[in-house]
Amino acid sequence: MKIDLHSHTRHSDGHLSVTELLERAATMQVDVLAITDHDTLAGVSEAQDYLSQSGSKLQLISGVEISTRWHGFDIHVLGLHLDHKDPQLLVRMEQQQERRRQRALKIAEKLEKCGYQEMYAKAEELADGGQVTRAHFARVLYQLGQVKDMQQAFTRYLGKGKRAYVAPQWITLAEAVEWIHDAGGEAVLAHPANYDMTMKWLKRLLGEFATAGGDGMEVVHGNLAKDKQRTLAMLAKEYQLKASVGSDFHFPSRWTELGRNLSLPEGLTPIWQEWRLGPQVAV
Ligand code: MN
Ligand code: MN
Ligand code: MN
């Protein structure tokens, strides 16, 4: 049984269309997949339509990855197993998208001061109807031959404190949890090992997230070393959070794949424990 509760499509910064993502999930023998685009649920609806017509056995979990701001850190909270047609949630996601758009326009302005022209238009073209994110600007810079890889685009221009950095205006951690609960979902702290913070800060984050009513945390996420997984498993127990697993798949590469190496360490409560998953995924 393969469960992957974190993936992206072209509706945000993933490279695959919804159909391509679902086909790839089938190829990788994923049984349960959550689509969790950044601040949009458009991919979930599209995937449902596709699956109901294709007769696929893949079980789709509705999801979203919400950007929040916490003590200067950009913290991502996954909303899983929620009502993706909840009108209030859809309005709230539109607000988030508008914030992202305003930020992208400011980033483009700063990049133009660095000598790069028409950056918003170029990033928008890459986004292909989806939201323009920093990753798109990184790809434009890479394609222009201005940086040697995506990472360098962040260390030179887009990262915190660099020339084209614009601080985001996201909602708080507690608001994200509330929004997710209002739509009937479970709030899961995304990729806790990726925030580049000390253990002291991470514990503070988990404590506040749990106090705000957060339900779970990712314990196994894309390419996480075993020792870090063990640490996260220990923290999930300490803060009494349920455990989630997800590849954070954006595009096929040597390092990321749907459903790969995502088995949950023992002794944890899976976030999907009370979901009605089909018989083939009884746990
Ligand atoms: Mn992303
Ligand atoms: Mn994320
Ligand atoms: Mn993600």
Find the 58 Cα to ligand 2 centroid distance in Å.
23
How confident is the model at residue 277, as a pLDDT? 83
Q: Which residues contact 277 (CB under 8 A, 6 or more apart)?
A: 32, 59, 283
Find the 88 Cα to ligand 1 centroid distance in Å.
23
Q: What is the pTM of this model?
A: 0.89
Find the 165 Cα to ligand 1 centroid distance in Å.
17
pLDDT in tens, 5-24: 999 999 988 999 999 999 99
Which ligand is the nearest neighbour of the Cα of 77? 2
The owner of tokens 């221009």 is: 157
pLDDT in tens, 99-154: 999 999 999 999 999 999 999 999 999 988 878 989 999 999 999 999 999 999 99
CA–CA separation, 153 and 146 (whole Å): 8
Contact (Cβ atoms closer than 8 angstroms) between residue 34 and residue 55: no
pLDDT < 70 positions in the chain: 279-283
Find the 121 Cα to ligand 2 centroid distance in Å.
24
Q: How far is residue 178 CA from its own chain's centroid?
A: 18
The owner of tokens 């794949």 is: 257
Find the 53 Cα to ligand 2 centroid distance in Å.
30
How confident is the model at residue 247, as a pLDDT? 97
CA–CA separation, 2 and 119 (whole Å): 40
How confident is the model at residue 282, as a pLDDT? 39
Find the 65 Cα to ligand 2 centroid distance in Å.
7
Contact (Cβ atoms closer than 8 angstroms) between residue 6 and residue 218: yes
Distances (CA, A) of 276 to 56, 84, 144, 282: 17, 17, 48, 9
Which ligand is the nearest neighbour of the Cα of 6? 3
Find the 145 Cα to ligand 2 centroid distance in Å.
26
Which ligand is the nearest neighbour of the Cα of 127? 1
Distances (CA, A) of 195 to 55, 58, 123, 130, 205: 39, 31, 25, 25, 10
10 Å Cβ neighbour count for 216? 27
Per-position b or e across 177-205, b if 16+ CB within 10 A of its CB: bbbbbebebbbbbbbbbebebeeeebeeb
Find the 239 Cα to ligand 3 centroid distance in Å.
23
Strand partners, 78: 65, 188
If you compute the radius of gyration of the chain from its CA atoms, what whole number of angstroms results? 18
The tally of CA atoms less than 13 A away on the side-chain side of residue 256 is 15
